[in-house]
């Protein structure tokens, strides 16, 4: 099961980074890499923080959104993860890693998984 989740992460890392201006792009890439490193070490709180910082630089970067979704899913917030992956799919229809993770997680979703972090949802909605 871990392999199923890790494989899309590896794929997402190989996707070409698109988006912001060079300075912002470099900053976002550094934040993203720090998030991936934290995720791999199991520090989900730091990974989430780093991915959110990367999204501040480029809020429409689907690879960062995808990895933020993985982080939320790993932390047990399946509903929030699915919302993030849906946003990635809205920005890039057919983005396979998000489609695959959304399908896999949908089968595991329970009513209790619906997120209650209103501030975070407002951040997603406004970007």
C-alpha span between 39 and 37 (Å, rounded) = 5
User: What's the CATH number where 18 sits?
Assistant: 1.25.40.10
Three-state DSSP string of 83-111:
HHHHHHHHHCCCCHHHHHHHHHHHCCCCH
* pLDDT for position 79: 86
Q: What is the pLDDT of residues 10-53, one digit of tens each?
A: 445 444 444 445 667 788 899 999 999 999 999 999 999 999 99
Per the prediction, the chain carries an average pLDDT of 80
Which of 71, 40, 41 shows the shortest CA–CA distance to 53?
71
What is the average pLDDT across 62-88? 94
* pLDDT for position 3: 45
* Poorest-pLDDT segment among 6-10, 31-35, 85-89, 116-120: 6-10
Containing domain of residue 117, as a range? 2-126
What is the average pLDDT across 76-82? 90
**Number of domains observed in the structure of the chain:** 1
Q: How confident is the model at residue 109 (pLDDT cuts 50, 70, 90)?
A: low
């Amino acid at each position: 099961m871990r392999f199923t989740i890790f494989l899309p992460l590896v794929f997402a890392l190989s996707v070409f980074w698109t988006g912001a201006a060079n300075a912002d792009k470099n900053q976002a890439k550094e934040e993203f890499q720090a998030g991936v490193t934290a995720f791999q070490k199991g520090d989900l709180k730091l990974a989430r923080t780093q991915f959110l910082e990367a999204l501040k630089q480029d809020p429409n970067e689907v690879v960062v959104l995808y990895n933020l979704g993985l982080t939320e899913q790993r932390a047990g917030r399946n509903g929030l993860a699915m919302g993030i992956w849906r946003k990635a799919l809205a920005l890039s229809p057919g983005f396979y890693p998000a489609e695959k993770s959304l399908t896999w997680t949908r089968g595991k979703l329970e009513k209790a998984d619906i997120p209650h972090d209103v501030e975070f949802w407002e951040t997603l909605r406004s970007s």
